[in-house]
Amino acid sequence: MMKKLWGFLVIAVLFFTLIWVWTSKVENSLGYPEFISGGALFFIIFLLCLFNMRKRLPFLPIWSAHKWFLFHSVAGFLALSLFWLHAGVLWPKGLYVQILSLLFYGATLSGIVGLIMEKVYPNLLTRIGSEFIYERIPREIAEIRNKAENLVLECTEKTGSDTLAQHYLETLGWFFQRPRFFLNNIFGGQNSQTWVKEQCSILERFLNEAERRYLEQIFALAETKRKIDYHYSLQTMLKTWLLVHVPLAAAVMTMVVWHLIVIQVFFN
Amino acid sequence: MDDSRFSHDKSPYERPNFPYRCGRGALWRTPCFKGPKIDGSCGGTQDCEPFLSKGRWSCRREKRFGGACKEGPGPNGECSWQRPPCAPRKTLRSIRGQISFLAVAVIIALLATSQALNLDGGRFVSISDAGPLSSSHEKFTETEGCASCHSVYGKGPVGWVKAVFTQEDISVSCVSCHSFGGPDSMPHNNNFLKGQDFRKTECIMCHREHSGGRMSTKKSSAEQCNTCHKNKFESFSNGHPEYPEKYPYFNRNSIKFDHGSHLNKHFENPKFTEKAPASCIGCHQVTLSDREVRPLAFESICVDCHGSQIQKKDLVLLRLPEFMQNFIDGEALTQSCNFPDQEKSEEEFLSVSTEMPALVSTFLLNVPEDDPEIYERPLQELISAMAEESALPVEDLINSKTEIPQADKLLMGMNPEVLKRAACSWGLNLEYEPPAEAKFGGWYADMLEVRYKPTGHRDPVAKSWVEFALAASTHQEDEDNAARAIAMRDQVISEKEGVGGCVKCHAVSETKTPEGKKKLEIEWHYKDVNNRPHSKYSHSNHIEIMGKKRSCSNCHILDGKAEYMLSFKSFDSTKWSSNFKSIKRKACVQCHAESQIKHDCQTCHVYHLNPGFKKKMFSEKKQNEKFKNDV
> How far is the C-alpha of B222 from the C-alpha of B218, rounded, in Å?
12
Determine the residue among B28, B115, B200 to mutate to test chain A binding: the one whose Cβ has the most chain A Cβ atoms within 10 Å.
Answer: B28
Task: Output the CA–CA distances (angstroms, integers) from residue B442 to A152, B303, B387, B453, in the order listed.
Answer: 135, 20, 20, 5
**pLDDT(B624) > 60:** no
**pLDDT(A85) > 80:** yes
Cβ of A92 within 8 Å of Cβ of B111? The answer is no
Question: Would you call B345 exposed, middle or buried from its count of C-beta atoms within 10 A (0-12, 13-18, 19+)?
Answer: exposed
Task: For B47-62, write each residue's pLDDT tens digit.
Answer: 888 999 888 999 998 8
B452, β-bridge pairs: B315, B443
Q: Which of A164-173, A247-256, B278-287, B545-554 has the lowest mean pLDDT?
A: B545-554
CA-derived radius of gyration, chain B:
49
Per domain, the residue ranges of chain A are 2-130+242-266, 134-235
Q: What is the reported pLDDT for B98? A: 95
Q: What is the reported pLDDT for B124? A: 43
Residues of B in contact with A265 (CB under 8 A): 152, 160, 163-164
Q: What is the reported pLDDT for B126? A: 65
**Minimum distance, in Å, between the CA of residue B220 and any CA atom of chain A:** 9
Cβ of B131 within 8 Å of Cβ of A27? The answer is no
What secondary structure does DSSP assign to B244-291, as a single string?
Answer: PTTTT--S--SB---HHHIIIIITTSTTTTTTS-SSGGGTB--TT-SS
Contact B55, A163 (CB under 8 A): no
Q: What is the reported pLDDT for B121? A: 45
> How far is the C-alpha of B485 from the C-alpha of B357, rounded, in Å?
14
Q: Which A residues in the span 219-258 are in contact with B, Cβ-Cβ below 8 Å?
A: 224, 239-240, 242-243, 246-248, 250-251, 254-255, 258
* Mean pLDDT over each residue of chain B, to the nearest integer: 84
Cβ of A94 within 8 Å of Cβ of B132? The answer is yes
Q: What is the reported pLDDT for B622? A: 58
Closest CA to B91 of B142, B15, B192: B15
Half-sphere exposure of B263 (CA within 13 A, CB side): 16
A55/B contact by beta carbon, under 8 A:
no
**pLDDT(B621) > 60:** no
- What is the pLDDT confidence band of residue B122, given thresholds at 50, 70 and 90? very low
**Minimum distance, in Å, between the CA of residue A114 and any CA atom of chain B:** 15
What secondary structure does DSSP assign to B146-167, as a single string?
Answer: GGGT-TTTTSHHHHHHHHHTS-
How large is the ipTM?
Answer: 0.92
Task: Output the CA–CA distances (angstroms, integers) from residue B289 to B257, B292, B527, B558, B607, in the order listed.
Answer: 20, 6, 14, 21, 22
Characterize the bridge pairing of strands B89-90 and B20-21: antiparallel
Backbone angles phi, psi at B370, to 5 degrees: -115, 15
**pLDDT(B620) > 70:** no
Torsion of CA A74, A78, A79, A84, to 10 degrees: 150
Q: What is the reported pLDDT for B123? A: 44
B227-251 b/e (C-beta count within 10 Å ≥ 16 → b): beeeeeeebbbeebeeeeeeebbeb
Q: Which of A88-102, B337-351, B353-367, B536-550 has the lowest mean pLDDT?
A: B337-351
**pLDDT(B265) > 70:** yes
**pLDDT(A100) > 90:** yes
**pLDDT(A241) > 90:** yes
**pLDDT(B628) > 60:** no
Q: What is the reported pLDDT for B87? A: 94
**pLDDT(B345) > 80:** no
Q: What is the reported pLDDT for B531? A: 73
Q: What is the reported pLDDT for B160? A: 84
A97/B contact by beta carbon, under 8 A:
yes
| Range B10-28 average pLDDT | 84
Task: Output the CA–CA distances (angstroms, integers) from residue B187 to A32, B194, B475, in the order listed.
Answer: 17, 10, 41
Higher pLDDT, residue B379 or A59: B379
**pLDDT(B432) > 90:** no
**pLDDT(B501) > 90:** no
Higher pLDDT, residue A47 or B112: A47
Contact A115, A73 (CB under 8 A): yes
Closest CA to B550 of B314, B306, B183, B280: B280
| Range B104-119 average pLDDT | 83
> How far is the C-alpha of B49 from the C-alpha of B242, rounded, in Å?
99
Closest CA to A73 of A3, A121, A12: A12
Task: For A145-188, write each residue's pLDDT tens digit.
Answer: 999 999 999 999 999 999 999 999 999 999 999 999 999 999 98
Please report which helix (H) or strand (E) contains residue B100, including its range: helix B92-118
Half-sphere exposure of A40 (CA within 13 A, CB side): 27
- What is the pLDDT confidence band of residue B346, given thresholds at 50, 70 and 90? low
Backbone angles phi, psi at A238, to 5 degrees: -65, -25
What secondary structure does DSSP assign to B502-551, as a single string?
Answer: GGGTB-EEEEE-TTS-EEEEE--S-----S-TTB---HHHHHHHH-TTTH
B522, β-bridge pairs: B508
Closest CA to B462 of B312, B625, B589, B613: B312
**pLDDT(B120) > 70:** no
Of B11, B104, B218, the CB nearest to A250: B104
Three-state DSSP class for B567? helix
Q: Which of A26-40, B268-282, B308-322, B538-552 has the lowest mean pLDDT?
A: B538-552
User: Residues, chain A, total?
Assistant: 268
Of A179, A254, A265, the CB nearest to B108: A254
Q: What is the reported pLDDT for B447? A: 85
Question: Would you call B490 exposed, middle or buried from its count of C-beta atoms within 10 A (0-12, 13-18, 19+)?
Answer: middle
| Range A113-135 average pLDDT | 91
Per domain, the residue ranges of chain B are 1-90, 130-220+618-631, 259-309+533-612, 312-504
**pLDDT(B438) > 60:** yes
Task: For B216-230, write each residue's pLDDT tens digit.
Answer: 677 677 788 888 888
Q: Which of B267-271, B456-460, B618-622 has the lowest mean pLDDT?
A: B618-622
Task: For B402-413, write each residue's pLDDT tens digit.
Answer: 888 888 889 898
> How far is the C-alpha of A258 from the C-alpha of A101, rounded, in Å?
13
Task: For B139-186, write each residue's pLDDT tens digit.
Answer: 778 777 788 888 888 787 888 888 888 887 888 888 888 889 888 888
- Which range among A26-40, B205-219, B604-618 has the greatest average pLDDT? A26-40
User: What percentage of chain A carries pLDDT values higher than 90?
Assistant: 75
Given 3-state DSSP classes, what are the helix, strand and coil percentages for chain A, each rounded to the nearest 5?
Answer: 85, 0, 15
User: What percentage of chain B carries pLDDT values higher than 70?
Assistant: 93
**pLDDT(A83) > 90:** yes
| Range B311-325 average pLDDT | 87
Cβ neighbors of B93 (< 8 A, separation 6 or more) are B16, B17, B18, B19
**pLDDT(B596) > 50:** yes
| Range B359-375 average pLDDT | 86
- The residue of chain B with its CA nearest to that of A237 is B92
Characterize the bridge pairing of strands B56-58 and B89-90: unpaired
> How far is the C-alpha of B517 from the C-alpha of B515, rounded, in Å?
6
Q: In chain B, what is the straight-line distance between the N-terminal and C-terminal CA atoms, in Å?
A: 89
Q: Residue B229 has what DSSP assignment?
A: -
Please report which helix (H) or strand (E) contains residue B613, including its range: strand B612-613
| Range A77-93 average pLDDT | 94
> How far is the C-alpha of B496 from the C-alpha of B504, rounded, in Å?
8
> How far is the C-alpha of B12 from the C-alpha of B35, rounded, in Å?
9
Higher pLDDT, residue B319 or B625: B319
Q: What is the reported pLDDT for B208? A: 84
Characterize the bridge pairing of strands B449-453 and B315-319: antiparallel
**Minimum distance, in Å, between the CA of residue A6 and any CA atom of chain B:** 31
Of A29, A142, A265, the CB nearest to B163: A265
Closest CA to A96 of B124, B155, B420: B124
| Range A124-131 average pLDDT | 89
B158/A contact by beta carbon, under 8 A:
no
B451, β-bridge pairs: B316, B444
> How far is the C-alpha of B121 from the C-alpha of A160, rounded, in Å?
85
Q: What is the reported pLDDT for B627? A: 56
Contact B77, B52 (CB under 8 A): yes
* Mean pLDDT over each residue of chain A, to the nearest integer: 92
- What is the pLDDT confidence band of residue B434, given thresholds at 50, 70 and 90? confident
Q: Which B residues in the span 161-190 are in contact with A, Cβ-Cβ below 8 Å?
A: 163-164, 166-168, 170
> How far is the C-alpha of B571 from the C-alpha of B257, rounded, in Å?
16
Q: In chain A, what is the straight-line distance between the N-terminal and C-terminal CA atoms, in Å?
A: 45
Contact A234, A240 (CB under 8 A): no
Task: For A189-230, write each residue's pLDDT tens digit.
Answer: 999 999 999 999 989 889 999 999 999 999 999 999 999 999
- What is the pLDDT confidence band of residue B631, given thresholds at 50, 70 and 90? low
Category of B341 on φ-ψ map: left (φ > 0), alpha (ψ -120 to 50) or beta? beta
> How far is the C-alpha of A195 from the C-alpha of B306, rounded, in Å?
109
User: Residues, chain B, total?
Assistant: 631
